[in-house]
Chain A
Amino acid sequence: MAGPTLKSQRFRSEREADWVALDAHVRKAERAGARALSDAELLAIPVLYRGALSSLSVARATSLDHELVAYLESLCTRAYFFVYGTRTTLAHRVARFFAVDWPAAARALWRETAAAWLLMALGAVVAYALIRQDADWFYAFIPGEMAQGRDPSATTAFLHSTLYDNSAGKPLSAFATFLFTHNAQIALMAFALGFAFCIPTAFLMIFNGSMVGAMFALYAPHGLGFQLGGWLLIHGSTELYAVALAGAAGFRIGWTLAFPGPLARMDAVAAAGRQSAALMFGVVLMLSVAGMLEGLGRQLIRDDAVRYAIAGFMAVAWSAYLYWPRRPALSDG
């Protein structure tokens, strides 16, 4: 006996094929990306999606088949995320990042960046002053394993050699890679720690500056201050720049969390997080350049003037790229 069919069953049997087709298309897109879909499938998805949504509304109002409603809810949710997901291609997104997002984020965070530079300078000056008064302070700023013999008891000749030896036999590019991954991790940490109301990030900035100050306090009395500058800045102009931007990104998050302004706190933090994330992506790129300059450039180039020239060029180039005024339409981005 066929039995009396319910309206909800007829409703289902008339539309079931469309739902199954939509499910198959979305599944394909989820697994292999939108490019795996044929043109016909791509065109069919929005139509099928709207059909499924309307089925969902009808089913909620007229069908008491719990399973059917749950199925349609999950199908519509997956299709919604696909239909209203981001449409840009990777190439377009990368181009937009370099043309708009990164410089815009850097400009928007200029106050935080200035604060990060100031804290680093503060750390450097304090460390320098303390060590010049009492050389024992040096050990407080530079851990023993990092100093590698470069401490107040070292001779001028030894210190000079640390600046110009190309550390024979040391695999240069492996060293560069190590420096990059290590520094990138520290920068990400400076960013993430900003969440704790800026305080740990501020400590990291001061600490970073104090290490530079301590090195100068060690080399300057030996008359090697100028040479140390070249040795540090050839990559340091890029690296310190990146660290300052990472600190700025962290400060923006912590500051917004404490003082959200006109938006609700959650919304303000989310907006700040996305903006500083764009900046952080740029920071990681800068650090890969810095790692290259440190691992390769510094070991191969031993002329002070060339080192300073590279340092200056990098600093000017980064500043021009990030802060050069652009047309207002772009800077809104």
Chain B
Amino acid sequence: MADVQPMPGAPGRPERLRTLITPEGVDLRLVVADAGARAAAFLIDAAIIVGTLAVATIAIVLAFIALKGKPGEILAILWLLVFFFLRNAYFIAFELRPGAATPGKRALGLRVASRDGRPLTADAIFARNAMREIEVFLPATFLVTQGRGVDALITLAGLIWCAVFVFFPLFNRDRLRVGDLVAGTIVVRAPRRRLLPDLAAPGGGQRGAFAFTSTQIDAYGVKELHVLEDVIRHNNSAMVFEVAMRIRRKIGWTAGAAESDWDFLSAYYAALRGRLETRLLFGRRRRDKYDI
């Protein structure tokens, strides 16, 4: 999964955080899915639907040829039902499952939730997907007919009508589409993350080689600590070099001959976190390096 890497700044941007207090009184701080992820998830689902329909159509046509057209009626019914169910039941069936996500949403780490924090009901899922009729299928039909047989003004009106629904999610804070609005739902990020190793965990053999003084450790705050954590986890050599040089300059550290930049950062991270967490336990959270 791609989502194990913490993207600096991306998932936790405050304007996309929504408060959800559990009955136990803990705020889960949900992250609203952004429009790009929603669109990507939909494209994956659309590809699955179209692909399945194509495969089913080919299979039915082959069966029709192989059986010399005898059970044509059954095959016709079959095709109509496959089309009907793919169009209407695909989203509903997947969102009714415990994961409340279609394969596309699951791939992007998204799920549907109820806006009021109560359990998601079948009615809500039905409502949000019935609205796809005007959000997706009407514009698609409009696209296929290419405005044949109507004058330019009606085509323009149709275009505006479709644009209102297609771009609706971009014009509200919660990225709600019309279906979400009508069903009282919201799409949030709920990706599965792997628990990565603790960077400050003892075990890096060279850590003993670094002995920072109290003033050196006190150079930074929590914000810098988190940036440092991201740098170490991404482990991009140019970035590690750059940051290591900058920290050395700031704290006045002279690098030993065999000292690696990554070891230095990792040791400094452990020392800084130890210091800041101790102060945290005494009730003092140092926000950043300017917060003395």
CA distance A27 to B111 in the complex (A): 14
Encode B95-126 as 1/0 by CB contact (under 8 A) with A.
00111100000000001010110011111101
Judge whether B288 is part of the interface by a CB distance below 8 angstroms: no
Interface majority SS (helix, strand, loop, mixed), chain A: helix
Nearest Cβ on chain B to A123's Cβ, whole angstroms: 21
CA distance A267 to B23 in the complex (A): 21
In the complex, are the beta carbons of A173 and B73 less than 8 A apart?
A: yes
Interface of chain A residues 61 through 94 with chain B (CB within 8 A): 61-68, 70-71, 73-78, 80-82, 84-87, 93
A71 touching B195 in the complex, CB below 8 Å, given contacts A1-B208, A280-B126: yes
A64 touching B273 in the complex, CB below 8 Å, given contacts A184-B84, A274-B121, A281-B126: yes
Binds A, one of B58-66, B150-158, B179-187: B179-187
Encode B67-83 as 1/0 by CB contact (under 8 A) with A.
00000110011001101
Judge whether A253 is part of the interface by a CB distance below 8 angstroms: yes
CA distance A71 to B229 in the complex (A): 14
Binds B, one of A187-195, A202-210, A219-227, A307-315: A187-195
In the complex, are the beta carbons of A188 and B123 less than 8 A apart?
A: no
In the complex, are the beta carbons of B76 and A171 less than 8 A apart?
A: yes
Judge whether B200 is part of the interface by a CB distance below 8 angstroms: yes
CA distance A66 to B128 in the complex (A): 35
Contact of A53 among B22, B120, B208 (CB under 8 A): B22
The contact size tier of chain B is: 35 or more
CA distance A282 to B76 in the complex (A): 25
In the complex, are the beta carbons of B208 and A29 less than 8 A apart?
A: no
Residues of B within 8 A of A277 (CB): 123-124, 126-127, 130, 183
Contact of B200 among A9, A174, A271, A278 (CB under 8 A): A9
In the complex, are the beta carbons of B73 and A174 less than 8 A apart?
A: yes
Which residue of chain A has its CB nearest to the CB of B84?
A: A181
In the complex, are the beta carbons of B119 and A53 less than 8 A apart?
A: no
In the complex, are the beta carbons of B131 and A66 less than 8 A apart?
A: no
Contact of B181 among A65, A71, A173, A270 (CB under 8 A): A270
Give the number of residue pairs across the A-B interface with Cβ within 8 Å: 212
Residues of B within 8 A of A61 (CB): 280
Judge whether B49 is part of the interface by a CB distance below 8 angstroms: no
Judge whether B246 is part of the interface by a CB distance below 8 angstroms: no
Contact of B80 among A16, A63, A177 (CB under 8 A): A177
Contact of B119 among A23, A65, A86, A193 (CB under 8 A): A86
A19, A70, A81: residue with the most chain B Cβ atoms closer than 10 Å: A81
In the complex, are the beta carbons of A66 and B226 less than 8 A apart?
A: yes
CA distance A235 to B10 in the complex (A): 56
A3 touching B207 in the complex, CB below 8 Å, given contacts A71-B195, A78-B192, A181-B84: yes
Residues of A within 8 A of B26 (CB): 53-54, 56-57, 76
In the complex, are the beta carbons of A85 and B184 less than 8 A apart?
A: no
Residues of A within 8 A of B192 (CB): 23, 27, 74, 78
Residues of B within 8 A of A85 (CB): 98, 100, 119-120
Residues of A within 8 A of B51 (CB): none
Residues of B within 8 A of A63 (CB): 277
Which residue of chain A has its CB nearest to the CB of B228?
A: A66
Judge whether B139 is part of the interface by a CB distance below 8 angstroms: no
In the complex, are the beta carbons of A3 and B208 less than 8 A apart?
A: yes
Residues of A within 8 A of B121 (CB): 86, 274
Nearest Cβ on chain B to A24's Cβ, whole angstroms: 11
A12 touching B198 in the complex, CB below 8 Å, given contacts A53-B26, A86-B119: yes
Binding site for B on A (CB under 8 A): 1-9, 12, 16, 19-20, 23, 27, 29-31, 33-34, 50, 53-54, 56-57, 61-68, 70-71, 73-78, 80-82, 84-87, 93, 97, 101, 171, 173-174, 177-178, 181, 184-185, 188-189, 191-193, 195, 253, 266-267, 269-278, 280-281
Binding site for A on B (CB under 8 A): 6, 11-12, 20, 22-24, 26, 28-30, 72-73, 76-77, 80-81, 83-84, 87-88, 97-100, 111, 113, 115-116, 119-124, 126-128, 130-135, 138, 178, 181-184, 188, 190-196, 198-203, 205, 207-208, 222, 225-226, 229-230, 233, 270, 273-274, 276-277, 280-281
Q: Which 5 A-B residue pairings sit nearest by Cβ, starting from the closest?
A: A270-B184, A273-B182, A277-B127, A3-B202, A171-B73
Question: What are 26 sample pairs from A and B whose C-beta atoms fall under 8 A apart?
Answer: A1-B202, A1-B207, A3-B208, A3-B270, A6-B274, A8-B200, A20-B195, A56-B26, A65-B198, A67-B6, A74-B192, A74-B193, A77-B30, A77-B190, A81-B113, A84-B23, A101-B123, A173-B77, A185-B133, A192-B132, A195-B134, A266-B181, A267-B116, A278-B123, A280-B127, A280-B130
